Every structure is written in C-alpha cells, then in structure tokens.
Amino acid sequence: MFNHKSSNVLLCARTLNTPAILINGMLFEVHGKTTTMEKNASQIKNLTHVEAIEKFKELVKHESTCLFTTLLTQVPLTTRPMSVQKVCDQGNFWFLSAADSDKNMEIARDSRVQLFFLNTSKYEFLSLYGNATISRDRQKIDEFWSDIAKAWFPEGKDDPRITVIKVTPEEGFYWDTKDGKLVSMIKILASAITGKTLQEGVEGTISVK
C-alpha cells in the first residue's frame, strides 16, 4: 500500500532466459529439487514447492514489508516499500494498491517485478522475481481490508481506487543465518579475532515450481 519511489536504488534484475538470478557477481540457476551442499562460508540448500512456500510465509510473518520493484529493464530501478497482505498456499504474494499509482501503471506496461525482503532481527534476506497481475477482486479486498488500509483509501472498501495485486513468484534466492542476529555477530567477531573463515548461514535458490 506504500507508494514511494527511490530512483537511486540499483538492484539485481532478471536479464537471461535461463531461470537464474545474479547476486554479487555470481549467477545462481534455479534447480528442480531441493539440494544441500557446503561451501566455504555457508551451507547451500535450494528450496522448492512446499518448502519454498513455508519459507515465504515464515519470513513475511516476521517482516511483511518489502521493496516492490518495477520496470526491471530500466536503471536506476523503480522501487517502493509495500506491505504484503498475505502469502497464500500457492505461494503467491498479495498486496493492496491504488489504481492511479505509478506502480499500477508500470505493471500495466511490464508485469515483471522483483521483491526484496530484509528481516534484520533474524538476519534473513529474500529476493524474488515474478509476474504481477492487477484485479478488483471484491472477495480479496474484503479479506485484506483493515483500519490501516483506510489511510490510503478513505472511502473504505468501496473506494473506486482500490485494487489487488497478485505476484506469482518464478524464481529467487534467500540467505539465512542459523542462529539469529546476536549469535551471528558473536561468531563474526570471533572469526575476525581468530582469523578463521566464518562458517555461518544457509542460502540457496527458492522456487514454488
């Protein structure tokens, strides 16, 4: 429901036909099954299907605000904070948005979007690429309506400006720590003192397919 632009945010966007995401100069392909392997600093665990959807729900439960990024082929990318109303059992992300917002107009031009989540309390991070669709689904509006929504839609649930955005994820990447923020910071300090490589965290591709 937020609709603020940040014209100076440079974020990773999908540029290849192969399902993959570019992060810190490394290309990660989406795999068709869950795999686990070790690397120097973290464990790799790719999530699909039910595992991926449960991961989405867990993260949104702790941090429902994401950076909602549109017009992925243009830089600097256009992004704004948006509050997720729900992650459904199919793994879709649902939002309320104003029909006359820049975001809706940009989705009408290009439905490809990317969502970025950051849960600082647990050091959890998620980047998702997907496709957005806009509707005026009355059932969904009734389901997602809250007193907070009235700040953006003063005429209530019958406000003609209110729309529902559904983002269907296609691929993504997540990063987790195993022990939470406090323990992770202690491990980082210990690693810096001893000079040993930090063995911390889990990361991998994530897909509902």
Q: How far apart are CA 59 and CA 17, in angstroms?
A: 28
Encode pLDDT of 56-71 as tens digits. Answer: 999 899 889 999 999 9
Domain residue limits, the chain = 36-207
What is the architecture of the domain spanning 36-207? Roll (2.30)
- Taking only the tens place, the pLDDT of each residue in 138-189 is 999 999 999 999 999 999 999 999 999 999 999 999 888 755 444 444 344 4
